[in-house]
Amino acid sequence: MPVRQLRLVVTAADYDEAVHFYRDVLGLGERDAVQSPNGRVMILDAGQATLELAEPSTAEYIDEVEVGRRVAGHIRVAFEVDDTRATTAALAEAGAEILGEPRRTPFRSTNARLTGPAGLQLTLFQMD
């Protein structure tokens, strides 16, 4: 049976900060919000989803290209955006830590690396 949707589930200690950052600043559309007896859940639309698998040596190379050193754990979230520079600036203003400024890559894209709320390491990329 084919998979119909990829859903990345993140536990955020500061739920309101994470919602503001990913929905209001990054611009992921709200698909659903649920109030459970024990807390809240929001499902944000991130467009098309893919699963990228990389060998450790390739992940190390990508870190070197985007940041200049090995920084990622085994999970990193990548978002394709229209303007890497503007989005990086907006996310930094909203509290993200910039690990690697926007730069042209050998992958025919302009990429930036940040750490966002809930400890997610993010790659922003704009296809050139």
In a domain, 8, yes or no: no
How large is the average pLDDT for residues 40-66? 96
Domain count, the chain: 1
Reported as a single tens digit per residue, the pLDDT across 2-25 is 999 999 999 999 999 999 999 999
Tell me how far apart the alpha carbons of residues 58 and 49 are, in angstroms, rounded to a whole number: 21
In a domain, 115, yes or no: yes
Q: What are phi and psi of 12, to 5 degrees?
A: -115, 115
In a domain, 33, yes or no: yes
In a domain, 7, yes or no: no
The alpha helices in the chain, defined as continuous H runs, are 15-19, 56-66, 84-93
Print the domain residue range for 106: 15-127
The pTM (predicted TM-score) of the whole model is 0.92
Reported as a single tens digit per residue, the pLDDT across 100-125 is 999 999 999 999 999 999 999 999 99
In a domain, 3, yes or no: no
Residue 1 has pLDDT above 90, yes or no: no
Tell me how far apart the alpha carbons of residues 124 and 110 are, in angstroms, rounded to a whole number: 8
Give the chain's mean pLDDT: 96
How large is the average pLDDT for residues 64-92? 97
In a domain, 79, yes or no: yes
In a domain, 5, yes or no: no
With a pLDDT cut of 90, the percent of the chain lying above it is 97
With a pLDDT cut of 70, the percent of the chain lying above it is 100
Domain harbouring 48, CATH code: 3.10.180.10
Residue whose structure tokens are 């955020």 = 12
